[in-house]
Structure 1
């Protein structure tokens, strides 16, 4: 969830300070607990900004990557993780990225309408199934060559800061917890996950309100 388009899409939030002092995590982290309202606000701002910019970057090719949504990728990362992490089995990318046409259209429209495979706004944004140890081990391809065919979609660590990794793991941990509570759930949206956790984690109320309006 390099950033090449910050000048094209202005973030709805001001830049949040990076927490470079956070240690890198090598083991599977537990469900993060936000204990400070200040930290919660930073998480909300940075999470949305990072999601939108990274999704926008992944849609800058001439082809809108529909082929990537229809065909599973080839595993090319670290072999120490479960081989299914990049196999595509059980993973749907339907509406897990913001529609480029919708995002850049001043009227917030897209010619595909309801048939579009991309999300028209945060309210439609789906979370994708990831390995529980998402972003806990380094990508071998990226370490060896400095590049990876999956880019921001890669489940392994590239050059993200510890703070960015913490936010990405937080999103994944919330999704994993939601799926444990609702094992039959399909096409889980960010909106559904936030509504599930806001009663017990009111620090996400601001994020929920923003998603509901967008």
Structure 2
């Protein structure tokens, strides 16, 4: 009944049997990931959840639009090449007009924009739940009456995607903080590794750091800074 109500509220052509909800997560652009969750008549389908490590190294750190574009390009190139996979009937994007436009352009390039309904869900003023604005192609932005089952459902979908993206990002960041090339350098123990990672944000940034930058990190002596620099620049 709820999915039928959703269909009527959003004026969907097809019954939304498979809904995919997308979100990105990063800290200052590091360990950036994109993720989507899947929901349908039986609720959340966790075995269908997917994560994408953002691969484009030329992307500006934290460029949400570019991240979203990369995720959709990879996801839907795969679907186009393997049409037997499950296609979504409805896609929710955590974001606003800009995200909707980026994703629409990617799907248009791949020739599949007319196969899927896109909805971007932007948080309300002061990021208030209950005052979200919705964006769809060919329609003016709209809001839904507060405290209605459809609005609650859409919020739950968005929050689940957010939870999944952030949780995955945190566990990967934690893993990176416990295993890194720094482990091979004498004199860099757990404390110094933590100091380096929190100063630079990622192992990749440490790798490309100048000697003068390494010296500025608390607990890193001139000799150790030289060792770290030499290790990555030999």
Specify the TM-score bucket, using the shorter chain as the normaliser. under 0.3
Higher relative CO (Cα under 8 Å, sequence separation at least 6) belongs to: 1
The structure with the larger Rg is 2
Higher helix share: 2
Higher strand share: 2
